[in-house]
Each structure stands twice: as structure tokens, then as C-alpha cells.
Chain A
Amino acid sequence: MSDLLAKLDARTLKAGGLIKQREKDIFVARIRVAAGNIDADKMIKAAELAKKYGRGFCHFTFQQSIEIPWVKLEDFDSFRRDLDAAGLSLANCGPKVRAITACSGCTINPYGVVDAAGLAAKADERFFGVETPHKFKIAYAGCPIGCPNPQGNDLGFHGMVEPELHADLCNGCSLCVTLCNSRGNGALKMSEETQLPERDLEKCIYCGECIVGCPTEAWVAKRVGHAVYVGGKHGRFPRWADRVADFVSDEETFELIERVVQWYREHGKRGERIGYTIDRLGLEKFRREVCGDRFTTAHTWNARGDRPVLESEVARE
């Protein structure tokens, strides 16, 4: 087998994406998928490769990529050629920026406020494979529901929207108040005087339930952007991410990826996820050096970053 190994394209092995199975000389081939979207023809090709080289099935990874288990070491060269011909490429493993994940976002999902999948695909083109001290996972979610788990990624984004009421269009049905109470943070109430909904700015979490729900389109988006979380991970020792900025623009998410990765490359120890780098050096240092005055949060958020800390609560303490 050492002959075979020697003959293999060094790039293939170094780039990763081939993971050894329990069985000798048998590997899982991990195919790169950005933003959880794959062209249907490529998906068919991947299925054909699974039949030809594997055992006729594919596995969907937690990171939205497609794996073909049971690929033999001796077939690598031919597998690699077929993969190239199909327009597919291997994903990676090891200490690098991984395939960037996303939900469908605003182009498909009614609750989405940003184009999560489109942005994740662009970010993947720019940052996939950049070397980092340990693995680095990035996720884009279209709204605060956060299906791709932005708080569980090394760097996560979710869309957020500031609502504004056009009172002349409101028919006073109060659905927004109901939705805000059950799905939002209870930031709306009907004014007895005007019979219109009123928004408590301190409580609003910018989820946009009122906008999506409003039957007369009286609630509209005043401002749209991304919330930014850093330092999340799952694994043996899960860590919940820190919320570090709000209402960041589409373009600024790319700038932040660059800044965060740069900071991590400068400060992270080999084998240390960025969350632990932050724990070791302090979140304040991270905020100062990466966010500065430009990237700030819309509220002082609680430790989980999901509800604003109210002034009344601060006063009580």
C-alpha cells in the first residue's frame, strides 16, 4: 500500500476531505457543499459515485456536506478523476475554515430577512480552506430563529430587522401583539388610547414576527442586518457563542469574517477553538481589537445573547 500512497496526488491528501474509516484502507470521501445547496445534476453525479466507489449510499454531514463512505484507497486516483469530471470537489477537515453553512434564507423562507444561502455561498468562495489554529465553522441564518445554529458556530450570523409602524395602514387587529407575545419578546402592546400597537424599544429583539404576520402590511422593515456571534461550538465541551455585534450589513459580514479569522490566526494557540482563545484573553480584548467602535450591539444582551437586559433589571440589582 505504501506504493499506492506514494503515487497519490499529495494535494488530495493534504487538502483533507478523505477520512479514514474503522476499516483498513477504507475512507469516507467528503464532498464540498456550500450553503447547503447543491445543483441537482451534481447531486445525481455524487449518487453515481457512491454506487461506483462506495456501497450505494450517501451520508449528510452535520455541516451540510455529502459523504460517500466505503471508498477504497486503491481507487483514490480514479475517484478523484471522476469527481473532477463531475464538477465536484472534496470538502476539508483539519484546522481550516470549513464549508460554510446556511438555511434557505429570505429567498425561500417567509421568516427570512437576509439572503443567508446566497451570502454563505459567497463567503465560502472567499474563505473556505483558510488555515486557522483549529477548525473554524461559519453559519449564516436568515432570521433570529437561527436554524443553522449561529450560536453553536465559531462565527455565526442571523438576520435581524427593525420594524416600523405605518399607522395609517393599521386596522388595529392586534395580531402583531399576539405574535410578539408568543414568538417574540413581548415588546408590543395595544394602546388603549389610539387602538394601535406600540413597540417597547427596550424589549424588541428585531425578529420581524410583526412584519411577517401583519395582515395589512402596516409593519414594515426600517432596517435590516445581521447579528454576529463568535466562539460557539458543540462537541464534548460545548460553548455558547458571545453576541458581539448587531445590524451588520451583508458586505460587512465578509469583512468581519476576515477580521475574526485574522485575529484568531494571530492569537489562537494550535488546537484551540476561538471560543477558548476568547476565554483565555478576555472578550473585551476581542471586542476592542475586532469590533472596535464600528461594530456594536443594539442592546446590552444577556449572556445567551437572546434577550436584552432591561434597565429596570439593572436598577434592581
Chain B
Amino acid sequence: MSNEKTVVSLLDLRGVCCPMNWVKTKLALEDLESGQQLEVIIDDGEPIRNVPRSVKEEGHKLLKVSPIGEHFRLLIERN
């Protein structure tokens, strides 16, 4: 935790459908300070299409998308 911008929260949203996965992501982002990062794990299919779009719409930064098995880990920086 040497850097302020390190990931401060991890949210496992495997099995959580749209739009609840986004609602949970949004609430978690609201708890962060601007510039802090959140990691979420979401499912393939609708979630990987919808959650990143909502992240973008609300002005947060999507820094990285990493496939892990049939899921994806998103690294998001709060605006």
C-alpha cells in the first residue's frame, strides 16, 4: 500500500446479473476517494458488455480487463 492509487477494494460479482452487478459496483465506487481503484470480477455475456459501459458513462476510468477463466477482472479508477 505504498501508493494511494493501489486497489482499495475487491468486489466478487460472479453470478450477479445486470443491472445489480452495476448497482453494487456503483455503490462500491461511491465509497472510494477520487483516484482510488476498485477491482470487480464479473461474468462473461451481458455483464462484460454492460458494466464497462456504465463505468464509462459515469466518468470513471476502466484501466484493465483481464480474463480469468469464464470471468473477467475489471480494474476501475474512481473519477
Contacts and interface: CB of A to CB of B under 8 A. Distances in A.
B62 A173 contact: yes
B65 A173 contact: yes
Given A110-B53, A215-B52, A175 B65 contact: yes
B44 A215 contact: no
A178 B62 contact: no
Interface string A152-193: 000000000000000000011111001100110000000000
A171 B52 CA distance: 14
A177 to B, nearest CB: 8
Contact of A213 (B53, B63, B67): B53
A309 interface: no
Contacts of A173: 62-65
A182 B65 contact: no
Contacts of A172: 64
A173 B65 CA distance: 5
B61 A215 contact: yes
A46 B13 CA distance: 45
Interface string B59-79: 001111111000010000000
B49 interface: yes
Contact of A179 (B48, B61, B63): B48
B18 to A, nearest CB: 13
A257 interface: no
Nearest to B72: A178
A175 B63 contact: no
B38 interface: no
A173 B77 CA distance: 12
Contacts, number: 36
Given A183-B49, A213-B49, A178 B55 contact: no
Given A178-B72, A182-B44, A182-B48, A212 B53 contact: yes
Nearest to B61: A215
Nearest to A172: B64
B49 A174 contact: no
Given A215-B55, A215-B56, A179 B49 contact: yes
Nearest to A181: B67
B52 A213 contact: yes
Contact of A215 (B62, B66, B67): B62
B6 to A, nearest CB: 18
A267 to B, nearest CB: 43
A174 B64 contact: yes
B67 A178 contact: yes
Interface centre among A171, A178, A179, A215 (most CB of B within 10 A): A215
Contacts of B48: 175, 178-179, 182
Contacts of B65: 173-175, 178
A180 to B, nearest CB: 11
Contacts of A213: 49, 52-53
A171 B63 contact: yes
Interface in A202-251: 209, 212-213, 215-216
Given A174-B65, A174-B66, A213-B53, 4 more contacts: A171-B63, A175-B52, A182-B45, A213-B52
Interface of B: 44-45, 48-49, 52-53, 55-56, 61-67, 72
Per CB-CB distance, the 3 closest pairs between chain A and chain B, nearest first, are A215-B62, A175-B65, A215-B56
12 contacts: A171-B61, A174-B64, A175-B62, A175-B65, A178-B48, A178-B67, A182-B44, A182-B48, A209-B49, A212-B53, A213-B52, A213-B53
